A and B are shown apart, each in its own frame.
Chain A
Amino acid sequence: MDFLSVAYALLFYFAAFVLVVGVGRKIVQYARTPAPLKIPTTPAPTTGTGVVLRLGREVVFFSSLFKSNKWTWLFGWMFHLCLLLEALRHLRYFTQPVWGWVVLVQPFGKYAAFGIVIGLLGLWGRRFFVDRVRYISAPSDHLMLILLLSIATSGILMTFVDHTDIVSLKAFALGLLYADWQPIPHDPLLLIHLALVAALMIVFPFSKLLHGPALFFSPTRNQIDDAREKRHVTPWASDTGTGAAG
């Protein structure tokens, strides 16, 4: 085993650890913090099933974003959908034998990378050309787009221009999963691609990428509109106040 292979193996263990623990801690924080008052944005569902459907529409179709801005919706939705396809396609590097449906995704997944790039460029363009969005963009917002674009571009180059040694790469990936380390191909594009993915995993819990898990905890979206029918009480709130009933 050479130095690079060991370094990359350790990097990915570290990145996975940070991602899982970091996001896990955030989820625990969100889950533990009470929502003392009923604040669903109405009209809101009056049943639990309704709430599941509402969140489903947000996750699958970005329904609120669709209401607000068609361009942002188009680029954002395209980016996320293609990212999903791409992620599913990448399962082929972690499964042996490759699952049947992952094989089916492959042809779409290959071209989804272009959807990712177009979506990201569209979103990035807004940060320059729409004065309101320019005003609210911090350096980290630009960097995040650069990071994602670099991952996508290095991936595209490997898929369509300069193929890497897929067989060894897969051996390396499976080796990580089964703690049976294998050497990594010394291909600059691949090494860049993987390092950036590891970076993305590491920044996830400390960045706005938390919007993924956070959506499920958003009280304006996940609460049932039943304030009159069911008394909503949380510990600190019921102990607070004027001493009278409650």
Chain B
Amino acid sequence: MAKFQTPEIKEYPVIPRIREGAMAGLKPLTAKPDHQRALGFPGELMDNWKEVAIDKMADLLGKYRSLPVFLDACVKCGACTDKCHYFIGTADPKNMPVARQDLLRKVYRRHFTFAGKYFPKLVGAVDLTKEVLDDWYSYYHQCAECRRCSVYCPYGIDTAEITMAGREILDSVGIGARYSNEIIGKVYIIGNNLGLPAPALRNTLEGLEEDVKEDTGVDVRYPVDEKGAEVLVIAPSADFFAEPHVDGLIGYGKVFHEAGISWTLSSYASEAANFGIFIGSYENMKRVAMRIREAALDLGVKRIVVGECGHAWRVAYSFWNTLIGPFDFLDPRYPAPQHICELTYDLIQRGALTLDKSANDHRVVTFHDSCNVARATRMGNKPGGQLTIPRDVIKAVCNNFYDMDAGTIGEATVCCGGGGGLLTDDLMELRVKGALPRMQALRHVVEEHGVTHMAAICAICKTQFAKVLPYYNFSMDQIISVHHLVGDAVVLGAKQ
């Protein structure tokens, strides 16, 4: 394991001076040929990769309006340069959003624009070489696709779109990241990212029922594959066993129990996360999502509810209707799909849950807006509901709540540092450094308000924080699921 230094939290956030090449060597492990082929990509770097890459770029330029618009529109104003948490944490100038785009833009200019063909030096256009390709692999895997840069760009240029295109071109010539591509393969074969087979899942859930019974004395159910249930819950597979996720799943069960809504998980579609988005592959994203439509039809449910998972909620909220809709077989009185926080929020509004806030009195809570929830989705009917609804849920179950600095929450939220397919040990240095802005903001509320816990609604955020909090002298259990807080406050049996 390479050695690196955890960045120091200064008294105030600072924009670092650039350090060229600071993260040049860092890149994730590449996928094995089998994993590549399972996703429809070449197994390894092809001989004619140059032509294939340029052809793929042409193909994508014709398929996604965002690409030609974003590649043409940038004026190099620099407004985005200090907005990426990876730049702040690493000081590597290629982690500035515009510089990350430029890695692709300079090849686009060379091959697809008049200026770049005839005056390459003038506009910084270059041919596609192996060095450029290596830079793509390295720096398109130092982007969490978190969209923070797109908020601040005067033209809304979203580097996440460029990163996705970059990764798709890389996949198409035979180089993919092992982490994402191996996981997508598991979903095709087993149904979830963890490769947890149906019998193991059933076992786990039975164990969970016993635990909750022991804790509370109440028979709360955690059903799987129950035909005719009203709600199909699509949760990230991390929820099935790992801390702090599983306490969130326990919370969902308690909410359904108290509200008297029948629900089920599916062993066929036992994964909310859709890693197809990370690699920018429409085909793979659609194929992963299709399992959910099939499961919903097969189980005959009336509603689909998505658990606490950030990019998953983006794919569900923004893309499902396009990818696997229409959802005309579901109950039209509910949004399809619905977020678990929307469901809980509605129940709280209707007074369907009895809540004992004092159950969380030993906690002082703050909330980390997950990047893709905040900047790529909505909850409820009003713009910004994705920011207010989770907070309103927390405040309904918890007496002590404090927000972090305004520049690090809401639409300005800083990514946890592990999003977008980077949640792998081979990128630990990047993950720790990229967490700096969030750790800085957390430190502030800890000192100011005695915050003990940071709540989140994303499996990646939770896993990432559990891992990096200790690097910054916090403890790993300071990250908590929103539905853990809810579950602790729900008074079971109150409504029966």
Contacts and interface: CB of A to CB of B under 8 A. Distances in A.
Nearest to A131: B18
10 contacts: A33-B61, A42-B376, A43-B387, A64-B153, A138-B76, A207-B115, A227-B321, A228-B335, A228-B336, A241-B282
B216 interface: no
A143 B123 CA distance: 10
Contact of B66 (A35, A143, A211): A35
A42 B323 contact: no
Nearest to B118: A206
A29 B68 contact: yes
B73 A137 contact: no
B65 A211 contact: no
A69 interface: yes
Given A136-B76, A218-B73, A237 B383 contact: no
Nearest to A225: B378
B82 A231 contact: no
A43 B389 CA distance: 13
A140 interface: yes
B59 to A, nearest CB: 10
Interface of B: 15, 17-18, 20, 61-70, 72-83, 93, 96, 98-99, 102, 113-115, 119, 121-124, 147, 150-158, 161, 282-283, 286-287, 290, 293-294, 317-319, 321-326, 335-337, 374-378, 381-384, 386-387, 411
Contact of B318 (A39, A65, A130): A39
A153 interface: no
A218 to B, nearest CB: 4
Contacts of B317: 227-228
Given A42-B411, A62-B154, A210-B72, A133 B336 contact: no
B180 to A, nearest CB: 18
Contacts of B378: 42-44, 46, 225
B383 to A, nearest CB: 4
B78 A36 contact: no
Nearest to B67: A33
A16 interface: no
Report the 7 A-B pairs with minimum CB-CB distance, sorted nearest first. Answer: A68-B152, A220-B156, A214-B73, A133-B78, A138-B124, A132-B81, A241-B286
A242 B61 contact: no
B99 A214 contact: no
B154 A58 contact: yes
Given A42-B383, A67-B151, A220-B157, 11 more contacts: A41-B411, A58-B154, A69-B152, A132-B82, A136-B102, A140-B119, A207-B115, A207-B123, A218-B70, A228-B336, A242-B283
B66 A220 contact: yes
A240 interface: yes
Contacts of B81: 132-133, 136
Nearest to A212: B73
Contacts of B75: 208, 211
Contact of B150 (A41, A58, A246): A41
B70 A232 contact: no
A51 to B, nearest CB: 11
A139 B77 contact: no
Contact of B155 (A130, A214, A231, A244): A214
Contacts, number: 235
A35 B122 CA distance: 31
Nearest to A135: B93
A37 interface: yes
B242 to A, nearest CB: 29
A244 B335 contact: no
Given A42-B374, A69-B79, A221-B156, A231 B322 contact: yes
Contacts of A68: 79-80, 83, 151-153
Contacts of B83: 68
A137 B76 contact: yes
A143 to B, nearest CB: 7
A43 B383 contact: yes
A133 B93 CA distance: 10
A140 B122 contact: yes
B89 to A, nearest CB: 15
User: Of residues B69, B147, B151, B375, which shows the largest number of chain A Cβ atoms within 10 Å of its Cβ?
Assistant: B69
B323 A246 contact: yes
